[in-house]
């Protein structure tokens, strides 16, 4: 029996920059190699203070370079088959051109800043500007550095350009502080490389070959979107400010990743995506029925709709008038859709959204446990760029294993992709 490896034949150019986590690079190279990748390496001058070229050469047959004008020692294997670009001083072009994927791990604040600003003063930064391949960063730094507005602004620039990030994660940092800044685990980095290499392969195939090989091909994903409207009388409702944009972005992205999509919508103000199955569910009660029914033949649910927690207990059959002493509404709680779905489908993959304005991660994690979710996307509508109707969202993902991944402010389509790639990974592991 031949074993399938997630990076079989992929040429991964690993850039190592000068953070403490660089000492993990040989282990990362080995892990990539075990998945079938051909790894070549470029180190920055500062990275060489933390890891040696000899240690890296002992774990890869690909080239291990650091200098812009290095000409020799290009290694063996599938790198530089074209050879012409391996002439003196052209390693950056050759390596950049031939890579299927460029991974920077660890990525220092400095390297992130240089890439965001287009600086090219050493072999790695020059190769990064010379590549057209997907780029994945695994940032690692002190928490204050990670949270610095300059670093976050650079990260936002790179994300908007399509650069992907894995981590950083929360935990104890090399300097003894706790916080977000640890490099993602080797497993998470290898997994992120595999999804990106898969996506790159799928997008290279273009529109010619159907959905085969797409991360969600053969899967059915139920997505909910919009805000429910709970009737007070025939003309008035209790609702919220959800536009439906986040749910629509998830539906569109799931479709583009190869899934069959059932999109259940309450009231929305945004343009719905084409090429998905639409089911109208204007109220919380209609939505619970629609979701339970749709999940029968689905693999996963992403619950992005803003479902009212309360509904008028006795909606009036006729329009209420202004006359009299005022109006008192009795509100009854609505069904908790995710809990009902979990009870009905104990093994299906469930993703929830939590909208919190304080203590976001702790509250989101509590919600995830209470409802038995696999993943929760937490956002705070009071944060800049995350308000209702916005095209961007600042989301933190928390999974059932306790991993916390702040995605930072990014376009809703990118948030959707990050969520769905995790769903795909989980489904494909089953």
Ligand X SMILES: Cc1cc2nc3c(=O)[nH]c(=O)nc-3n(C[C@H](O)[C@H](O)[C@H](O)COP(=O)(O)O)c2cc1C
Question: Catalytic site residues?
Answer: 240
- Selected binder of ligand X within 6, 86, 110, 185 (CB under 6 A): 110
| Cis, peptide link before residue 365, omega less than 30° from 0 | no
Residue 274 Cβ vs ligand X, minimum distance, rounded to whole Å: 43
Q: Which CB, 121 or 330, lies closer to ligand X?
A: 121
Q: Which CB, 77 or 113, lies closer to ligand X?
A: 113
- Selected binder of ligand X within 6, 10, 15, 19 (CB under 6 A): 19
Residue 145 Cβ vs ligand X, minimum distance, rounded to whole Å: 6
Name residues whose C-beta falls within 8 Å of residue 159's C-beta, 6 or more positions apart in sequence. Answer: 165, 408, 410, 411, 414
Question: Would you say 239 and 139 are in contact if contact means Cβ atoms under 8 Å apart?
Answer: no
Residue 88 Cβ vs ligand X, minimum distance, rounded to whole Å: 23
C-alpha torsion 275→280→283→285, nearest 10: -100
Q: What does the alpha-carbon distance between residue 42 and residue 128 come to, in Å, rounded to a whole number?
A: 11
Closest to 47 in 3D by CA, of 16, 71, 77, 14: 16
Q: Which residue in the block uniquely carries the two structure tokens 């920077």? A: 104
The span of 30-38, 105-113, 163-171, 338-346 binding ligand X (CB under 6 A) equals: 105-113
- Selected binder of ligand X within 6, 60, 86, 108 (CB under 6 A): 108
Residue 231 Cβ vs ligand X, minimum distance, rounded to whole Å: 55
Decide if residue 120 touches ligand X (CB under 6 A).
Answer: no
Decide if residue 126 touches ligand X (CB under 6 A).
Answer: no
Decide if residue 265 touches ligand X (CB under 6 A).
Answer: no
Q: Which CB, 140 or 301, lies closer to ligand X?
A: 140
Question: Would you say 357 and 379 are in contact if contact means Cβ atoms under 8 Å apart?
Answer: no
Decide if residue 364 touches ligand X (CB under 6 A).
Answer: no
Site string for ligand X, 132-171 (x = CB under 6 A): --------xx---x--------------------------
Decide if residue 244 touches ligand X (CB under 6 A).
Answer: no
- Selected binder of ligand X within 5, 8, 20, 383 (CB under 6 A): 20
Decide if residue 18 touches ligand X (CB under 6 A).
Answer: yes
The span of 62-70, 107-115, 213-221, 394-402 binding ligand X (CB under 6 A) equals: 107-115
Site string for ligand X, 31-50 (x = CB under 6 A): -------------x-xx---
Name residues whose C-beta falls within 8 Å of residue 88's C-beta, 6 or more positions apart in sequence. Answer: 69, 71
The span of 16-24, 280-288, 369-377, 403-411 binding ligand X (CB under 6 A) equals: 16-24
Strand partners, 16: 43
Q: Which CB, 40 or 110, lies closer to ligand X?
A: 110
Decide if residue 53 touches ligand X (CB under 6 A).
Answer: no
Closest to 117 in 3D by CA, of 64, 69, 154, 71: 154
Decide if residue 15 touches ligand X (CB under 6 A).
Answer: no
Structure tokens at 153: 């602004």
Residue 137 Cβ vs ligand X, minimum distance, rounded to whole Å: 11
Decide if residue 194 touches ligand X (CB under 6 A).
Answer: no
Q: What does the alpha-carbon distance between residue 307 and residue 357 come to, in Å, rounded to a whole number?
A: 17
The span of 75-83, 103-111, 129-137, 288-296 binding ligand X (CB under 6 A) equals: 103-111
Q: What does the alpha-carbon distance between residue 117 and residue 129 come to, in Å, rounded to a whole number?
A: 10
Q: Which CB, 183 or 266, lies closer to ligand X?
A: 183
Alpha carbon 36 to chain centroid, angstroms: 24
Interface ranges with ligand X (CB under 6 A):
17-20, 44, 46-47, 108-111, 140-141, 145
């Amino acid at each position: 029996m031949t074993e399938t490896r997630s990076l079989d034949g992929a040429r991964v150019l690993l850039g190592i920059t000068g953070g403490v986590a660089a000492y993990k690079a040989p282990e990362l190279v080995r892990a990539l190699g075990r998945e079938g990748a051909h790894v070549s390496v470029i180190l920055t001058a500062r990275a060489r203070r933390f890891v040696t070229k000899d240690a890296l050469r002992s774990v890869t047959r690909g080239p291990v370079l650091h200098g812009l004008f290095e000409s020799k020692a290009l290694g063996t294997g599938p790198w530089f088959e074209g050879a012409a670009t391996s002439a003196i001083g052209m390693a950056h072009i050759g390596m950049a051109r031939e890579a299927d994927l460029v991974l920077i791990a660890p990525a220092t604040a400095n390297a992130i800043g240089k890439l965001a600003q287009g600086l090219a003063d050493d072999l790695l930064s020059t190769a990064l500007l010379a590549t057209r391949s997907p780029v994945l960063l695994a940032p690692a730094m002190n928490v204050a550095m990670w949270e610095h507005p300059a670093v976050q602004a650079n990260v936002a620039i790179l994300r908007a350009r399509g650069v992907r990030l894995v981590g950083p994660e929360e935990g104890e940092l090399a300097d003894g502080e706790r916080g977000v800044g640890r490099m993602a685990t080797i497993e998470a980095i290898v997994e992120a490389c595999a999804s990106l290499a898969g996506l790159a392969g799928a997008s290279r195939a273009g529109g010619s070959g159907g959905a085969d090989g797409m991360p969600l091909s053969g899967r059915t994903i139920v997505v909910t979107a919009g805000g429910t409207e709970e009737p007070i009388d025939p003309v008035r409702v209790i609702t919220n400010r959800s536009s439906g944009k986040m749910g629509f972005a998830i539906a569109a992205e799931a479709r583009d990743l190869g899934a069959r999509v059932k999109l259940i919508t309450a009231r929305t103000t945004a343009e719905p995506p084409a090429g998905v199955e639409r089911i109208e569910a204007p109220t919380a009660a209609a939505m619970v029925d629609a979701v339970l029914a749709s999940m029968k033949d689905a693999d996963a649910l992403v619950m992005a709709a803003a479902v009212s927690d309360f509904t008028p207990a006795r909606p009036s059959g006729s329009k209420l008038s202004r006359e009299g002493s005022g109006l008192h509404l009795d509100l009854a709680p609505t069904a908790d859709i995710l809990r009902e779905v979990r009870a009905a489908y104990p093994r299906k993959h469930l993703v929830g959204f939590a909208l919190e304005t304080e203590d976001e991660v702790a509250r989101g994690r509590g919600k995830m446990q209470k409802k038995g979710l696999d993943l929760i996307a937490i956002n705070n509508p009071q944060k800049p760029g995350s308000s209702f109707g916005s095209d961007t969202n600042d989301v933190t993902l928390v999974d059932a294993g306790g991993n916390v991944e702040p995605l930072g402010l990014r376009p809703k389509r990118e948030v959707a992709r990050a969520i769905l790639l995790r769903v795909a990974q989980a489904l494909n592991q089953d």
